[in-house]
Amino acid sequence: MDAPLLTAIQTPADLKRLSIDQLPQLAQEIRQAICDQVAQSGGHLAPNLGVVELTIALHYVFDFAYDRLLFDVGHQCYPHKLLTGRLGLLPKLRTREGMAGFPDPDESPYDLFAVGHAGTAISTAVGMARGDQLNGESDRKSIALVGDASIVNGVAFEGLNNAGTLNRQFLVVLNDNGMSISEPQGAMAAYFDRVRVSPTYGDFKKRAHKVLESIPGGSILEEIYHRSGEMLKHAIATDHIFEHFGLICVGPVDGHDLPTLVDMFNEIKDIDRPVLLHAKTIKGKGFEPAESDATAFHSPKPFTVDGCRVELATGQRSFTAAFADAMLQLMAEDEKIYTVTAAMGPGTGVDKLIEKFPDRTRDTGICESHAMDMCAGIAKTGLKPFFAVYSTFSQRALDQAFQEVALQNLPVRVCMDRAGLVGGDGAVHHGFLDISIFRPLPGAVLLAACDEPTLKASLRFMKDYDAGPTFLRYPRDSVAKSPFQPDTDCPAFELGKANLVIPPNAKPDLVILAYGSLVYTAAQVVEELRGTNDIALYDARFAKPVDIELLRKIITANIPIITLEDHALAGGFGSAVLEACNQAQLPTHQIKRLGHPMKWIKQASRTAQLAEVGLDKAGITHAILDVLSNHPAPTPPDTVAQI
């Protein structure tokens, strides 16, 4: 048995001391370490298994203590982290004490950007290349590692357009595994399919003799060709789509052949022109269940391996599952509903809708801006588009929501999963800005669901609301057990009206207006304080418009208010309440807002993150008691439930 290699690697300098023949063993150890940990804690599995050899080869050839390595999306960074001294952080993956699931400059100088959104790496790498050049450090290599699903993002194309103008070394490594989270979409995906199977790309040696014939005399490419090694000569592609962006295109090459990758990077690294290396990889490589079902193992929950069988951990019913089932019912009832997602079919539940209603459901790929604009076009034809998207990714379509949707008064329905704190993915994926981003849009309606019945009711409201765009938020969490039995007991959503969840016995000492799923946390607190304090709890339902008539009654009765939201305080639901009161000339000195403070919340469990920002039971209880201790005792009780 060969001695273990991974435990001896503290920096990439240790990696460079290994022989080429030892690298496959290292690759196997990295895969085993990642599989063992993700099986325990969950995390991104298949994306990381697919880039093990690419990452080893990059660190073996380049010096990223000085050179620049930029990740696109970043969910494929585990091998990179294990090669840069963070093996000891792996056992606490995606927790505050352990390794973040995405690149994090606070964790290591080898991570240049904290990233979790697709399409960004090429542009930031171009920026660093230009900055280094002006700083007299053109010898610093710039490399962007990008997936085939990410590179078709609009921002990535903008980056490519500018990369082609660089008059220096620049390398884009295209990690082509034929997947995003699920099957990639669009014409570019079909192009990559053709490239992978084309015999023109499959045999370097047969192509080598024809390359010079297609190169114009005196061109840069001819110069590069003549001073290249045999391997690079055989791999240069003259009819690759990205050649038209001014990049020298190489490949496809086998992204799991370590000796070839090392040789190729050694030949490419000193080319003083932009180069794109097209590497074909297998998502989930080395773990058969992940290779067979890369979508299920993209970011699985903990799992167990029992012989040839793999069991994924199951949890309680999620808001995502509730959304999918509600939409299945609505789409069956209304043939005008059209549902769209942007490469997040499984994550939003839209994959179920695609299977049932393929003609009225579309996955656009990683292009939220296009998806929002497409929804505007669909709405213009009289259909009812629903855009299912993560809250953090909805930010990427703000301009389109402004120009093509809100400005046109079009009824596009935006359903934002993962709103609020998201747990292990950390700051790159928190959905804490959607209220403040979309609330300023004239004519927009913002609403939130607190459980499955209110989710169904909110979707029904959106289906029938045609006066402008609607934006619904719900968290990455399990749906709470609802007091409404059956669901039809849940009051229908009425524009701008809150719903009383826990009525007071008399004139309440305090009123809580909770927006979204924190209604249930607040309900637990109210029940525990019921013996000593009389508190009314409302499900606010709408952040725009807020229930100004309810606010007028509460404030006129001199009752303090706490607003509660899983969102940034700046521009959020509480701010909407303050603004509405100011416009109605109502005093606001007795309104206390609870929400996210102005700081980044690192990876941890969602429960721990809510506690950190004071949105757990203890934090809400403390806020209530603090408000009550500073408020004068109420006057004798009025009649019950007037507020």
Q: What is the DSSP letter of 431?
A: B
- The answer to whether residue 194 is catalytic is no
Handedness of CA 415, 122, 423, 434 (dihedral sign): negative
Query: How far apart are alpha carbons 144 and 335 in whole angstroms?
Result: 44
Which one, of 432, 440, 428, 435, lies nearest residue 414 by Cα? Answer: 435
Per-residue tokens: 479: 């749906």
Is 396 marked active-site?
yes
Which residue among 53, 267, 368, 404 is the active-site one? 368
- Indicate which residue of 86, 140, 396, 418 is catalytic: 396
Task: Name the token pair of 538.
Answer: 């409302």
Per the listing, tokens 């996955």 go with 363
**Closest by alpha carbon to 182, among 347, 320, 338?**
347
Give every CB contact of residue 276 below 8 A, 6+ residues apart in sequence.
Answer: 171, 172, 173, 174, 240, 242, 247, 248, 249, 250
Give 102's DSSP letter.
S
- Residues 295, 301: contact at Cβ < 8 Å? no
Q: Which of 207, 233, 283, 541 is catalytic?
A: 283
- Can you tell me the distance from the alpha carbon of 617 to that of 525, in angstroms, rounded to the nearest whole number? 6
User: Which of 592, 588, 643 is CA-nearest to residue 619?
Assistant: 592
CA distance 250 to 244: 13
Contacts with 299 (C-beta within 8 Å, 6 or more apart), sequence order: 42, 43, 44, 45, 75, 181
CB 74 within 8 A of CB 103: yes
Side-chain-facing half-sphere of 318: CA atoms under 13 Å: 15
Neighbours of 416 (CB within 10 A): 26
**Burial class, 51, CB count within 10 angstroms (exposed 0-12 / middle 13-18 / buried 19+):** buried
Catalytic residue numbers read 283, 368, 396
